[in-house]
Structure 1
């Protein structure tokens, strides 16, 4: 076997005329004929009849994909494909009726009609699951790296021998090798020597763009030949013996524990990128050369005479056609899911998802109380968060804490100081500098039943991870509660002594606007403990904002509320009560609003969470005070205060004696100079002035 990093072109253990006995060739022939029949049915009838709206043919990719699927026979294997991976899904056991019913957007199937049918998921209780695919190119790589890391964690840290020999496999096209996700996952897998197989199908085009635009020379295997800790193989995915040998060798290498491998197989894309794609950008000669490489006649030539006769081959093809026709009839009998159910399963609603999250692996939260029991001296918010993380790490061996600089440094804000020393680098660890990789890895870890607690170092740095954040939040909904990936995403936000456009952003509303995420914005140490512990023991993904100015703020200090204190989401708190005006706020603006209301009869409401938010408390207060002021640090246009104002205007209009008012930052990034920052952020004086204005209305 070649050394890691050495590409092996056209090499495998089966090169003789006798088909490799390690493969079930009749099953491969059957599945390939089924895949062709599915493509043919969609292209000739279901798409023209508009019963299938998105169709991506796998013709040309199909044979090698089926072979790959038959190699994933370990009960702890995991795999994630992309929109051209249906033959692979068929080899894992997806029912034909589900495949067609999902393509038609009918009830049941992958998503109950919520997602396009080529974005697959498959819990597969009998074997390797197909992790939820995403519509974004390259988004499959980092979650698969997370699954691979989970394999090593279960095996090496939790001592579960059932994970020995398990691997994670990710499928992607040649164009996806240009994405952030690919390079981030490659870094994670190679630096950690994870059991991960990168399976790259090179059809020389990304829609209309040649592969030479994606990687120099159009050959990712050749370009990665010297990449550290990576075993690289390359060959022809249309030659049955060659493809079988390479796939076996790649899978065996990764199962052997030597680290990750990348297998690039050259395959033709025998139809357009999608049904609507005419391929006018290809020359007639190039299209003809692709059809000359069609793997189906090559498979027939390889098997007929060596393993079966012509009649058996024809019988398999006929049986495949019959099976697809029967599945089509059954799928067309399915109804469309009732529209009144389309809002269900955004969050956990009491019915357990089939796959993903620690709750599906037997986790039971310790006893808790919603009543704080203050103990000892007041502590700052930073200490409160660290102590909560420490306590939950102690109680829950499934919990992992990670991000940039969270290890020996203890985080740039010192919140995780000492935790790696106490729990080890397997549980508290630094990551490569890739926010896509941090969150994507967390998704894979969560799908494998662990509790990831990733940190994004500053709110502004979350932008490269937004695709993974969105995909994670929508997972429960778009799989109709088949999959979920609960995690707690910690993120420092806001100003601290000074500001700037890169470290001081809040923009909480962006995460409220990502369906499926709960959002916490504690203003003090006690609330931080209760909300964080609630999130760590919950069954939904949570964004936990830690305001930089409040981490060591004297006002935010509180006694430790107890080792079992939890604070349910959606319960606001009144920090001051009165009857002349309602002031709604959160985060660093809470103490400012409290100070501004000094000497007045005012309800000052700290929302504590924005998703969900306590509409009932706000509306009841407004009905009594008849005035409402909303104060937040985020920008005015499109800020979360606009949502609150709209709800108050819509549901409490007749109770109001004055217009609903907002006081926010102007629509600018956070200024750096403290003088400019103090002008931009709502101050106690400006808040008081706005209160007086409303009281005089």
Structure 2
């Protein structure tokens, strides 16, 4: 690149002197904080630092252009957003030091946090997912008719991630009032932009999605502030997304340990001549808006604020371990619903299919929760591939029953953003297998948000799963064990129509993230009595599907029906426990049945190795060993992908092996 760059041009903007002084102060504050943090890093007070020196104009310009109640989604180098919104310095310093007084109480570091009070949500290390969250907040604003925008930052490297493209596409299709800001600082860690993208400028990508896009000088505080101010005003009146590429430069390492040896010295020197703080300060002196002495006094005053904040943070106690406290932080408190026994509600029950129970739960919940939005592929006019939402558009409208593009990660992220802004989301995976495309959002955003910074994720993800329907490897999996290992997710897996309705209504009422597994083969094959109206089944309460004394089958989903069929055919006095939810798990019911029968067989449809049955078997062996008269037995599917042909699928599934497994257990 050239060793000389055009000078910053502030004179072409018409700002009153008071505003110019305010903007300079807002630029100077994060610069001085960073300089102090670099010293603290060398002293070992903090463990890591991602420097935004040289990029302050983007953070400050964007933050000052929005109103305080508009959400901003930040990245590593957006300290200026936090300081512009008057986040207490002592709390920021405590956050970086990993102390309980920080925003995450020592559970996460640097800018990996949010603050509802300040309408800021920080990034996670995966860089791209926050863009869809901003779109979700914008969706909430649009649904409520609020004249507000949201704004999300990403880097040049992040624009290559799928989450970037999914978020922009959703926002464009739904015309959401969100501003996507790219901080193009020349390098993705050490990879120059010439090796990251082939287009002339990153703003060109927005044009491909049908949105306005522009490239501006990210080191010019006035250009950034004026551009974002005008765009925000326009979007509040006429909602649509806009992509803004801010050209800037990272003069320090990606983080301090990585250094800048990979950057030519002349390139750094050229950009230092365009330093946003120094050059703007020079301009104010040249124009007579401030004197050099005034700038010196201001710097001294800010340094005093920093020292006061550091003293306050230093006086806070260090983090201490407390397992009970940490476990309690996983979820937002939510009172368990009062269960209603079938047949006790003035006999208001109706015999319906499993699939109709799911549909009924959604309809009742949509009526009860006016802020609930359903999202999924083809769920609107078409009613979904299984017709579960057929007719919903006529009652609830297209705003609340939304067809989505084929972008599972983006849609889950929009659901979380909707929750951040006070809404409630249900996301339907067309087939549960497709959840792999949304895996990161589920395990790193939905599952961890409340634990990290107290933000609940009011999102229920429905997953049609299971074999026995000849659908092959990509439409038949049951993947609960992928998620039972992730703290922060509630997991339901009903086996009956009544439980399907009751558990789903409980899931949709719960402000925490729920994965809701629905076995496709039960949709139209199983009919039972289901209470009408509101009906709730609490999580963490197993059911005895059949009483018995010889042994216990502990199972869930389709396994309950395989167990019933086999036990009845074999004439066995075997107890069947339907777990109903895998988290929370009813350990008391497991302990009680094992103590009663002294023999346990764990049955599930997923493959044996790594399946949830291994966890159940380990727990029984550890906690119920003295009650056992035989080793715990596991029965599950083969350790292969699920095949398509009927004969192969029958071999894969454990149903035909259950009778012999039971006999072996009883004969031990």
Render the CA deviation track for 1:311-336: whole Å, top value 9, x for unaligned.
11111111111111221121122112
Render the CA deviation track for 1:389-423: whole Å, top value 9, x for unaligned.
11221222111111011112211112111112221
Residue 338 of structure 2 contacts residue 538 of structure 2 at CA under 8 Å; is this kept in 1? no
Question: Could you say if the C-alpha distance between residues 225 and 597 of structure 1 is closer, same or farther in structure 2, counting changes exceeding 3 Å?
Answer: closer
Matched, 1:51 2:45: yes
In the alignment, which residue of structure 1 is the partner of 2:589? 617
Q: How does 1:188-337 map to 2 (within 5 A)?
A: 188-217=170-199, 219-225=201-207, 227-228=209-210, 230-304=211-285, 305-337=287-319
Query: What SS class does the counterpart of residue 276 from structure 1 fall into?
Result: helix
Matched, 1:86 2:79: yes
* Residue number among 617, 620, 639 corresponding to 1:648 in the alignment: 620
Matched, 1:473 2:447: yes
Query: What SS class does the counterpart of residue 216 from structure 1 fall into?
Result: coil
In the alignment, which residue of structure 2 is the partner of 1:109? 102
Render the CA deviation track for 1:632-676: whole Å, top value 9, x for unaligned.
001111111001000000001111111101000111111111100
How many angstroms apart in 2 are the aligned matches of 1:571 and 1:177? 45
Matched, 1:574 2:556: no
Shifted more, 54-63 versus 144-153: the winner is: 54-63
Render the CA deviation track for 1:337-390: whole Å, top value 9, x for unaligned.
321033331022369xxxxxxxxxxxxx9x965322354552111111111211
Matched, 1:428 2:423: no
Question: Could you say if the C-alpha distance between residues 171 and 215 of structure 1 is closer, same or farther in structure 2, counting changes exceeding 3 Å?
Answer: same
TM-score (norm 1): 0.90
- Structure 1 segments of 4+ aligned residues over 4 angstroms from their partners: none
Structure 1 position 144, deviation (Å) = 0.5
Render the CA deviation track for 1:37-93: whole Å, top value 9, x for unaligned.
22112212x212322112111101112211211112153x21211122111121122
Residue 29 of structure 1 contacts residue 316 of structure 1 at CA under 8 Å; is this kept in 2? no
How many angstroms apart in 2 are the aligned matches of 1:323 and 1:376? 66
Number of residue pairs matched by the alignment? 653
In the alignment, which residue of structure 1 is the partner of 2:387? 414
* Residue number among 388, 399, 420 corresponding to 2:361 in the alignment: 388
How many angstroms apart in 2 are the aligned matches of 1:132 and 1:202? 18
Residue 110 of structure 1 contacts residue 117 of structure 1 at CA under 8 Å; is this kept in 2? no
Structure 1 position 234, deviation (Å) = 1.5
Query: What SS class does the counterpart of residue 293 from structure 2 fall into?
Result: helix
Structure 1 position 468, deviation (Å) = 0.7
Residue 382 of structure 1 contacts residue 552 of structure 1 at CA under 8 Å; is this kept in 2? yes
- Indicate the RMSD between aligned Cα atoms, in angstroms: 2.0
Q: How does 1:395-406 map to 2 (within 5 A)?
A: 395-406=368-379
* Residue number among 17, 24, 33 corresponding to 2:19 in the alignment: 24
Shifted more, 638-647 versus 259-268: the winner is: 259-268
How many angstroms apart in 1 are the aligned matches of 2:542 and 2:30? 54
Matched, 1:131 2:121: yes
Residue 83 of structure 1 contacts residue 135 of structure 1 at CA under 8 Å; is this kept in 2? no
In the alignment, which residue of structure 2 is the partner of 1:172? 154
Residue 486 of structure 1 contacts residue 540 of structure 1 at CA under 8 Å; is this kept in 2? yes
Residue 499 of structure 1 contacts residue 674 of structure 1 at CA under 8 Å; is this kept in 2? no
Question: Could you say if the C-alpha distance between residues 601 and 496 of structure 1 is closer, same or farther in structure 2, counting changes exceeding 3 Å?
Answer: closer
* Residue number among 14, 17, 34 corresponding to 1:39 in the alignment: 34
Question: Could you say if the C-alpha distance between residues 224 and 527 of structure 1 is closer, same or farther in structure 2, counting changes exceeding 3 Å?
Answer: closer
Structure 1 position 143, deviation (Å) = 0.7
Query: What SS class does the counterpart of residue 171 from structure 1 fall into?
Result: strand
Gap regions ≥5 residues in structure 1 = 1-9, 156-162, 352-364
How many angstroms apart in 2 are the aligned matches of 1:222 and 1:594? 60
Question: Could you say if the C-alpha distance between residues 39 and 314 of structure 1 is closer, same or farther in structure 2, counting changes exceeding 3 Å?
Answer: same
Question: Could you say if the C-alpha distance between residues 369 and 657 of structure 1 is closer, same or farther in structure 2, counting changes exceeding 3 Å?
Answer: closer
Query: What SS class does the counterpart of residue 503 from structure 1 fall into?
Result: coil
In the alignment, which residue of structure 2 is the partner of 1:503? 475
Question: Could you say if the C-alpha distance between residues 323 and 574 of structure 1 is closer, same or farther in structure 2, counting changes exceeding 3 Å?
Answer: same
How many angstroms apart in 2 are the aligned matches of 1:241 and 1:654? 74
Question: Could you say if the C-alpha distance between residues 350 and 385 of structure 1 is closer, same or farther in structure 2, counting changes exceeding 3 Å?
Answer: closer
How many angstroms apart in 2 are the aligned matches of 1:467 and 1:498? 29
In the alignment, which residue of structure 1 is the partner of 2:3? none
Gap regions ≥5 residues in structure 2 = 1-5
How many angstroms apart in 2 are the aligned matches of 1:22 and 1:179? 41
Residue 507 of structure 1 contacts residue 635 of structure 1 at CA under 8 Å; is this kept in 2? no
Residue 348 of structure 1 contacts residue 540 of structure 1 at CA under 8 Å; is this kept in 2? yes
Matched, 1:150 2:140: yes
Matched, 1:535 2:507: yes
In the alignment, which residue of structure 2 is the partner of 1:607? 579
Render the CA deviation track for 1:269-291: whole Å, top value 9, x for unaligned.
12100011112211111222222
In the alignment, which residue of structure 2 is the partner of 1:593? 563
Question: Could you say if the C-alpha distance between residues 251 and 564 of structure 1 is closer, same or farther in structure 2, counting changes exceeding 3 Å?
Answer: closer
How many angstroms apart in 2 are the aligned matches of 1:296 and 1:232? 26
Residue 61 of structure 1 contacts residue 267 of structure 1 at CA under 8 Å; is this kept in 2? yes
